[in-house]
């Protein structure tokens, strides 16, 4: 968003103009989506308000060297199956459980090349404890559930009123998670 201060015809009075965003779009952003992390292996950021408003989200904390890492395949399958109905899967690499690679290029290779991930992935961040990123902080507050391990999942309804937590052992496909997702998308 561009902000410009314009001098008015009245001395000492300036007018603040917001270019590129209406006041309605600014006001409509829920605190949950007021987050702009950097994309994995990129200098670009993802503005969650702009990109994900009105979408059903599946937010997952990931790690490249975990026994649950093969869930990337099912997460991608779930994303492909439901993306046209409004689902967005978002991966959050984290080393909170000491199973994430130190090099972001290697993390990206695991996600994009080894598992064919096409859904959004963000740069590594903390998903629990004192350094928890702002989105996970709110997800934890809404559910009372903090990630106990890698590949915890939070299903967030498009209206942001329903947030459901699933632990690592809940697979993305043919599970309670997929049933709950299908119900939300109806």
**Class of residue 38 by CB neighbours under 10 A (exposed 0-12, middle 13-18, buried 19+):** middle
Q: Produce one character per residue of 83-121: b if its CB has 16 or more CB atoms within 10 Å, e if not.
A: eeeebbbbbbbbbbbebbbeebeebbebbeeebebebbb
7 vs 2: CA distance, rounded Å: 16
Catalytic choice (29, 49, 66, 111): 66
Q: What is the SS3 assignment for 49-94?
A: HHHHCCCEEEEEEECCCCCCCCHHHHHHHHHHHHHHHCEEEEEEEC
Decide if 66 is catalytic.
Answer: yes
**Paired residues of 61 in beta bridges:** 92
What tokens were used for 92? Answer: 């959050």
Active-site positions read: 66
């Amino acid at each position: 968003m561009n902000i410009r201060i314009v001098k008015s015809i009245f001395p000492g009075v300036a007018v603040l103009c917001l270019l590129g965003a209406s006041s309605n779009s600014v006001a409509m952003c829920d605190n949950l989506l007021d987050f702009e992390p950097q994309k994995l292996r990129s200098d670009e950021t993802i503005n969650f308000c702009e990109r994900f408003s009105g979408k059903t989200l599946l937010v997952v904390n990931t790690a490249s060297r975990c026994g649950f890492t093969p869930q990337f395949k099912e997460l991608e399958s779930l994303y492909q199956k439901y993306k046209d109905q409004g689902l967005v899967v978002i991966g959050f690499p984290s080393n909170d459980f000491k199973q994430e690679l130190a090099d972001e290029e290697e993390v990206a290779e695991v996600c994009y090349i080894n598992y064919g991930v096409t859904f959004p992935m963000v740069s590594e961040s903390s998903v629990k404890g004192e350094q928890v990123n702002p989105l996970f902080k709110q997800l934890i507050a809404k559910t009372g559930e903090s990630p106990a391990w890698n590949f915890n999942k939070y299903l967030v309804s498009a209206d942001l009123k329903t947030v459901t937590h699933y632990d690592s052992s809940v697979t993305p496909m043919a599970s309670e998670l997929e049933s709950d997702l299908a119900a939300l998308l109806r």
